[in-house]
Structure 1
Amino acid sequence: MTFLNTALLAALSLGLIPILIHLLNRQRFKQVDFPTLRFLKEMQRQKMRQVKIRQIILLLLRTLAVLFLVLALTRPVIRSTAGILPGVEAKSTVVLILDRSASMQSETPSGTRFRDVQTRAQEILASMGDNDEIQIVWADPKPKLFPESPTTHIALVREAIVDAEATYQGGDLVYALQSARRILGASQNLHKEVYVLSDFSGSAWLEEMPELELLPDDVRLFLIPTRDDSRRNMGIVNARITSRLITPGRPVELAFQAYNSGSVPAEERIVSVYVSGRRVAQTRVSLQAGRQQEYRIKFVPEEPGSQTGYVRIEDPDDFAADDKREFVLRVPPRLQVALVGAEGPAKQLTGLAMNPTSDPDAFVQVQKFLPAEFETADWSGVDVIIIVDSPEFGIGFESR
């Protein structure tokens, strides 16, 4: 016999409570002899014996009720050895579905969630018989099997579980259950069991299960969550530059989405923006559990060119892998504008509006072209083309 919730075995001590209550409630009477009542003593002795017997029976029933309740919560599993023929042991085929998605790296007081999954998987292996078959289904986005078919070499499976590590990708427990269905469908053993060990987070376990039957009726399914349900985790989902016109020395707007996948609210979490390794902006974020929200923050790029940056949550939580999200910022050193049109006031005023002093170091540099030059000019270094009072262009321009 093995227990799926071994931590609750300590609660068996609660069976002492009815006994203590019985002992504390025992009434002690002061004995006073009355001569006129001596004929009733024999009747009293018989009555007290009956009362004591009833009290002992009630005490035993109450104690057993507490013990059976605790044992039921520990979820005992008894493997039957009764085969179809006398003296023949009934074999079992066991499928272990193990979640090693990114959320399993979350820290708990006793280690990571994946470490808890490894420990509980070893407990299941210890309860198996020598002739039982077992196979692991790693609940990755595309489930992986180990070994390729069910095996009786428990030591091989145990070693694979010990050497495994949580990944940085998602998971799919429903797809893994479908793989388990195919494995057990080919098994000829009498007993078939599936153990799912996971934190059952939203990325791996759907809120609305598909209508199709995941497992047949002759398969016993055990869902075993990680022991620590309380988690503190807020992550950055994405980050992107929303400003259209980016110039050195002018504010740039960055939008990022934060998602609280934990079970507790996130209060005043510090979020910073870094560009080229230097912090350029900072804000505070508060978010309820299970909520996702977009935030916007501005900063001023000081240098032109392509730069890498990232948004990061400064104070760590139970899962650090999603605390950072990168982005790319391109700050052009110059904005090359081509002004095409016939010479006249409109063309002249447009050029002055973009670069009033004709400063060669200004951010906007204006090049002027006549309509006849439009079809033959080299536009490879031009960012913007402005057409002012120009006639219709020929076929050559349309083809370009």
Structure 2
Amino acid sequence: MSLSFLSQPILWGLFAASIPVIIHLLNRRRFRIVDWAATSFLLKASRESRGKKKLKHILILICRTLAIFALIFAVARPLLGGFLGSGSGSVNTVILVLDRSASMETKAESGAPSYREAVITRVSQAVEKMGSPRLLLIDSASGDIQEVPSPDALPELSTTFATDTQADIPTLLTKAIDYIDETNPGQTEIWLASDMQRGDWRPTDSRWNAVRSGLESLPNETKLRVLSSGSELAQNIAIELVASRRVEDNLFLDLKLTRSNGDGTSTVPITYSLKGARSAERVTMNGQELRFQKRLPLSAADVDGSGWVGIPSDNNPR
């Protein structure tokens, strides 16, 4: 029986289990033993209970170490043969809800696989080690439910390739819930692979109430698991031209900046090119999204032409 994990990089945190041992050893070195005749009788009196105290300290140390080990082990999502997690029975069907939005092409570093590629590989390996239960795919680009013939075929399907689209997580989960209600496929697990972008999850959308009710109405053997990257992804910033229009001798551009991490403040250099003439500015953004308007001057003779708007490249090619 084989053992694997859905979030393998988190297992590096097992080194943290050595922290209680290190603290214990440092505390032992903090005191210097000095013989003092006046207290020798007290030491003799306490020798009988010293063994019990030492055993107590060792047991406490072991419990602290095991607690950290168990926490890291659980967060890494262990997968044991045909059993996923603790106490789960044999899984008949796995429904993979795959976020194929452009932000899923972000890489932890140059040369590394994108989050989309990495999660597809992990899912393929995990399903195979579970004994190859029935695997269904719902991708964010098409929204269709597709049966995958084998875990090995998952990376080769066109419905798992990269796109420049945006995901709608509430809609995808609703489709998975409706499928389970209509077909009753037995013990089922929904695996949601997403990079947790606010624009894809839409946390203020009223449909989440229906999603929550639908999940609660499913049979007890149905589980929902969110597959995280297991490591911090590099910041991804993208710019989008929403609309453009000419008003007399001015060209107005409606632009949208988005970034994968909404914490803190980012200053983004933007370059504008219009008929070969370039200009640049720096825009400060807070949160994950910023909409703004840019005015570019035109002359009366400018009837047609071309241009572009760009930002520096990062670890996401899209």
Which TM class, normalised by the smaller chain length?
0.7 to 0.9
Return 5+ residue gaps in structure 1 as ranges.
82-88, 245-251, 322-400
TM-score scaled by structure 1?
Answer: 0.64
CA contact (8 A) 1:105 1:112 kept: yes
How far did residue 9 of structure 1 move?
0.7
Q: Judging changes above 3 Å, is the alpha-carbon distance between structure 1 residues 90 and 257 closer, same or farther for their aligned structure 2 residues?
A: same
2:54 and 2:201 map into 1 onto residues whose CA distance is 55
- C-alpha offsets along residues 284-307 of structure 1, whole Å, 9 cap, x if unaligned? 140314221112121336565xx3
From 229, 236, 245, give the equivalent of 1:232: 236
2:299 is aligned with what amino acid?
V
Q: Judging changes above 3 Å, is the alpha-carbon distance between structure 1 residues 78 and 50 closer, same or farther for their aligned structure 2 residues?
A: same
Question: Residue in 2 aligned with 1:9?
Answer: 11
How far did residue 20 of structure 1 move?
2.3
TM-score scaled by structure 2?
Answer: 0.78
From 253, 257, 260, give the equivalent of 1:256: 253
2:316 and 2:64 map into 1 onto residues whose CA distance is 45
1:257 is aligned with what amino acid?
D
Q: Judging changes above 3 Å, is the alpha-carbon distance between structure 1 residues 48 and 203 closer, same or farther for their aligned structure 2 residues?
A: closer
Question: Residue in 2 aligned with 1:365?
Answer: none
CA contact (8 A) 2:254 2:291 kept: yes
From 297, 309, 313, give the equivalent of 1:312: 309
Q: Judging changes above 3 Å, is the alpha-carbon distance between structure 1 residues 120 and 236 closer, same or farther for their aligned structure 2 residues?
A: same
Percent of paired sites with the same residue = 20
CA contact (8 A) 1:233 1:318 kept: no
Q: Judging changes above 3 Å, is the alpha-carbon distance between structure 1 residues 301 and 113 closer, same or farther for their aligned structure 2 residues?
A: farther
Do structure 1's residue 104 and structure 2's residue 104 form an aligned pair?
yes
Q: Secondary structure at the match of 2:104?
A: helix
The alignment yields a C-alpha RMSD, in angstroms, of 3.2
Do structure 1's residue 208 and structure 2's residue 204 form an aligned pair?
yes
Within 5 Å, which residues of 2 pair with 1:150-299? 153-157=150-154, 159-160=156-157, 164-185=160-181, 186-189=183-186, 191-209=187-205, 210=207, 211-212=209-210, 213-215=213-215, 216=218, 218=220, 219-226=222-229, 227-244=231-248, 252-262=249-259, 263=261, 265-267=265-267, 269-275=269-275, 279-289=276-286, 290-299=289-298
2:134 and 2:277 map into 1 onto residues whose CA distance is 58
2:292 is aligned with what amino acid?
Q
1:9 is aligned with what amino acid?
L
Higher helix fraction: Structure 1 or Structure 2? 2
- Alignment size in residue pairs: 294
1:240 is aligned with what amino acid?
S
How far did residue 225 of structure 1 move?
3.4
Within 5 Å, which residues of 2 pair with 1:386-397? none
How far did residue 224 of structure 1 move?
2.0
Q: Judging changes above 3 Å, is the alpha-carbon distance between structure 1 residues 113 and 63 closer, same or farther for their aligned structure 2 residues?
A: closer
How far did residue 320 of structure 1 move?
5.3
CA contact (8 A) 1:242 1:253 kept: yes
Q: Judging changes above 3 Å, is the alpha-carbon distance between structure 1 residues 197 and 268 closer, same or farther for their aligned structure 2 residues?
A: closer
2:225 is aligned with what amino acid?
F
CA contact (8 A) 1:143 1:172 kept: no
CA contact (8 A) 1:93 1:187 kept: no
2:106 and 2:90 map into 1 onto residues whose CA distance is 39
How far did residue 37 of structure 1 move?
4.2
1:187 and 1:217 map into 2 onto residues whose CA distance is 9
Q: Judging changes above 3 Å, is the alpha-carbon distance between structure 1 residues 202 and 222 closer, same or farther for their aligned structure 2 residues?
A: same
- C-alpha offsets along residues 128-176 of structure 1, whole Å, 9 cap, x if unaligned? 224x211111112x402322xx75x333345438x94211222222222
CA contact (8 A) 2:94 2:136 kept: yes
Q: Secondary structure at the match of 1:168?
A: coil
1:274 is aligned with what amino acid?
L
Within 5 Å, which residues of 2 pair with 1:321-360? 321=318
Question: Residue in 2 aligned with 1:383?
Answer: none
The structure, 1 or 2, with the larger RCO (C-alpha pairs under 8 Å, 6+ apart) is 2
Return 5+ residue gaps in structure 2 as ranges.
84-88
1:255 is aligned with what amino acid?
F
